[in-house]
Amino acid sequence: DAGITQSPRYKITETGRQVTLMCHQTWSHSYMFWYRQDLGHGLRLIYYSAAADITDKGEVPDGYVVSRSKTENFPLTLESATRSQTSVYFCASSGGVLTGAPPGYTFGSGTRLTVV
Partner 1 sequence: QKEVEQDPGPLSVPEGAIVSLNCTYSNSAFQYFMWYRQYSRKGPELLMYTYSSGNKEDGRFTAQVDKSSKYISLFIRDSQPSDSATYLCAMRTYSGAGSYQLTFGKGTKLSVIP
Report in angstroms how near the CB of residue 4 gets to partner 1 at its nearest: 8
Say whether residue 113 binds partner 1 (CB under 8 A).
Answer: no
Smallest gap from residue 97 Cβ to partner 1 (A): 5
**How many residues sit close enough to partner 1 to count as binding (CB under 8 A)?**
23
Rule CB under 8 A: say whether 116 interacts with partner 1: no
Task: Select from 20-28, 61-69, 70-78, 91-99 the region that touches partner 1 (CB under 8 A).
Answer: 91-99
Distance CA 7, CA 23 (A): 7
